[in-house]
Chain A
């Protein structure tokens, strides 16, 4: 007999996010509810939560770049990024972001996933450049359009990272696929797997790139 009660934890997460409670609170309540419903003693639930938190500190490590970024912003880094785009002929938001998409995919495919990212490159450079290019095409941006261009900059980073990294042989997800399938006596080399990440990577570039060109066309229409 399967025990369905622990699934209530998922419901807690969905409802909590939907009602816009503080997400940290939602996650903690969901974790404790799930553990208790799964017949774990409270002490073990808290221990599992604590261990999971401690083992994953590396995802929070990226914030050490903030002092550098903040310091350079103090001396006008974002303004500089805007100026350089304003002076560049033929620079458009779409073309700029397509170039970044390609660069991010290639770097990730080489295993260099931590080289770029939201804190390192998107906030200080890519987003201000994309906004500057949009202002050139469109004139002064209204708030909704500026939000849209910034959000697209962040989205472009994600798409480039996700659909580039699996081409690299030694990335965690490839090793996880290999390990999981090995558990079923299916033996594959990382190379056999990473080759099959290439078609999706190409599709991702074409699909997201097309959307970026459409964004360009919309911006060229000028302020309404």
Chain B
């Protein structure tokens, strides 16, 4: 059965190749820093499960040491020039979109095929990670199509991918680091402390005030943790269940579902949600690393107000 580990082997190979090509890139003054950083990630993907918790901790510290001492750089990189690209795109036309669409379509049609046909019974793919496995398959198919059709130099895919990953740099592992920080917060009891603080400040009697504090608590705690998943159990235990559901008799499904969505409004407004807010700024080469947060904050604030209204009306008056 193909599971996530197969995809990890593939991802490790990609990072490993980036590491090797980084080491050989003389145009990058910090080439060994890049080589070490991507190499450590290759090790993480290949051997993470046999390194042990402490070994993985050491690996994390090594990654932090490289990024924290600014040992990551960028090469000038060999790629095509803008004029060449425009000429190419004229010549190739809209067919150029096809390989780009292979990846999403493989994931899309594959997931549907897998879930709604007898294919499921064959046990080919681990049902828990179907889309991610198919994403990996899609990448392989798309690369094959590109090589047959465009006949690029043998290592062009590695080099062009490296150009992009170098432009993101250390931000690549920030989301994973923040998830690990969440695990430490949980182990040290940060969540329960915040929960007891929240329940201590709740006044009795006003449903609207309790709803407001529940929603704002989700937002603030989500912004701190970068993740509504970490905030939900805390705020549910502090306000959602004891006050909104038990004391005030609110609709549990509404309190649960909309509470989480209020937290998502917080996700839109925090650099801690790095993969949604900081990485795209790097990917799009924005000057302002908080540009994406600035663009979505007004939506988040108005939507938060909408969520409070939904919580209040649907939770208590329907």
Q: Which residues of A contact B (CB under 8 A)?
A: 2-4, 6-7, 9-10, 13-14, 17, 22-25, 27-28, 30-31, 34-35, 37-38, 40, 43-81, 83-84, 107, 111-116, 118-125, 127, 143, 147-148, 150-155, 157-159, 161-163, 166, 172-174, 176-178, 180-181, 184, 186, 188, 192-197, 199-200, 203-204, 207-208, 211
B190: chain A residues at CB < 8 Å are: 6-7, 9-10, 34, 38
Measured between C-beta atoms, what is the minimum distance from A108 to chain B in Å? 12
Interface flag for B60 (CB, 8 Å): yes
B233: chain A residues at CB < 8 Å are: 176, 180
A9 and B185 within 8 A (CB) = yes
B261 and A200 within 8 A (CB) = yes
Q: Can you list 28 A-B pairs with a CB-CB distance of less than 8 A?
A: A6-B185, A10-B224, A24-B177, A28-B68, A34-B185, A43-B54, A46-B60, A46-B61, A48-B184, A49-B183, A51-B53, A53-B176, A54-B51, A63-B11, A64-B10, A66-B165, A67-B160, A71-B150, A72-B96, A74-B79, A79-B85, A114-B132, A162-B261, A162-B267, A180-B232, A186-B241, A203-B306, A208-B299
A115: chain B residues at CB < 8 Å are: 104, 107-108, 131
B176: chain A residues at CB < 8 Å are: 53, 56-57, 59-60
Interface flag for B291 (CB, 8 Å): yes
A54 and B56 within 8 A (CB) = yes
B100 and A155 within 8 A (CB) = no
Interface residues of B in 71-117 (CB under 8 A from A): 79-80, 84-90, 92-94, 96-97, 99-100, 102-104, 107-108, 111
Measured between C-beta atoms, what is the minimum distance from B83 to chain A in Å? 10
Measured between C-beta atoms, what is the minimum distance from A31 to chain B in Å? 4
A49 CA to B188 CA, complexed, in Å: 12
Interface flag for B257 (CB, 8 Å): yes
The main secondary structure of chain A at its interface with chain B is: helix
Measured between C-beta atoms, what is the minimum distance from B148 to chain A in Å? 12
Measured between C-beta atoms, what is the minimum distance from A208 to chain B in Å? 5
Identify A80's interface contact among B64, B89, B256, CB under 8 A.
B89
A60 CA to B168 CA, complexed, in Å: 12
One of B25-33, B118-126, B151-159, B203-211 at the interface: B151-159
Measured between C-beta atoms, what is the minimum distance from A65 to chain B in Å? 6
B107 and A112 within 8 A (CB) = yes
B268 and A147 within 8 A (CB) = no
